[in-house]
Amino acid sequence: MMKKNRYCLIFLCIPVFIGVLYFCQAPEVTAQQDSELAELEAYLRSAEIVHVEEGADLGTTDPWNVRLDDGKTKKRAMFKHAPRCRPNFMVDCYKYEIAAYELSKLLNMPIVPPTIERTVKGTPGALQIFLEGCTPLNRLKSVPDTEQFHRNMLDILVFDNLTYWQTGMDDINEDIFYHNDDGRVCRVDFSKAFEERHELLGEVREVEQCSDILLRALKQLDESEVREKLAAYLNEEEIEALLVRRDLLLAQLTPFK
């Protein structure tokens, strides 16, 4: 039986999830899921924008609610447009949302919903597929006390350390979603992540174990590919700090027993 991390135990005293989509945290991305992700990215890039609701009070970063239609299907998406990347003092940057998605793909872990860069109403930003039928952690009546759930949460915690954003527990509970059918989880809201810190998150967010799949992916993460995929969204210092945190994680992580 695996050792439960203190971070995961916190969730057991909070009210349970309801749902996330197929692209959220699962053992790893299959060929079919990879194709579905590519299709969703293409849809987000090309579908007609039929309605934009600004000021919908859907989050602290004032995202817009966007409705899309490609003539075959209608979908909803969230649009984040804050442009304040580092070295701005009040950091809130849509590019970090895209960087988090691209990083999750490099790790072959469907942790972040499909997110692409697109201009909406003349404003550049990050367009992310909406999590239909899903509920954030802080709105659940109880949290699943299963080994798989705890393992999924530890993989999310590894990703949190990798992307590094010192958010509070209340924010985390709003930004993690759970799929009621199969227990998959995903993580959203990275607009203040990727701090230039050469250290890991401390306190209850320390992590010592993760899935063998994620551990393998971290070991195989190619520095040149990371720079190639993330250079459009992160500066050199942010990328360098990310790679340092990867090495720190590898020095302490072991696979689940």
pLDDT digits (tens, 9 = 90+) for 127-140: 999 877 777 777 77
pLDDT digits (tens, 9 = 90+) for 81-120: 999 999 998 999 999 999 999 999 999 998 899 999 999 9
* Beta carbons of 243 and 223 less than 8 angstroms apart: yes
What Rg, from alpha-carbon coordinates, does the chain have? 17
Amino acid 70: pLDDT:
97
What H or E segment, with its residue span, contains residue 65?
Answer: strand 64-69
* Beta carbons of 136 and 171 less than 8 angstroms apart: no
* Beta carbons of 161 and 201 less than 8 angstroms apart: yes
Amino acid 10: pLDDT:
35
Average pLDDT on 151-171 reads 83
Decide if pLDDT at 233 tops 70: yes
Average pLDDT on 190-206 reads 89
Decide if pLDDT at 230 tops 50: yes
pLDDT digits (tens, 9 = 90+) for 174-184: 788 877 666 67
Query: Distance between CA 32 and CA 246 in Å, rounded?
Result: 28
* Beta carbons of 250 and 219 less than 8 angstroms apart: yes
Decide if pLDDT at 12 tops 80: no
pLDDT digits (tens, 9 = 90+) for 21-70: 445 655 566 777 788 899 999 999 999 999 999 976 555 568 999 999 99
Amino acid 228: pLDDT:
97
Average pLDDT on 150-176 reads 82
Per the prediction, the chain carries an average pLDDT of 84
Amino acid 4: pLDDT:
43
Query: Distance between CA 198 and CA 246 in Å, rounded?
Result: 10
Q: What is the CB neighbour count within 10 angstroms for residue 184?
A: 24
Query: Distance between CA 134 and CA 153 in Å, rounded?
Result: 16
Query: Distance between CA 22 and CA 113 in Å, rounded?
Result: 9
CA 107 to chain CA centroid, nearest Å: 12
95-106 and 223-230 are packed helices; what angle lies between their axes, rounded to 10 degrees?
Answer: 150
Residue type for 20, please? V
Amino acid 22: pLDDT:
42
Amino acid 55: pLDDT:
78
Query: Distance between CA 37 and CA 134 in Å, rounded?
Result: 18
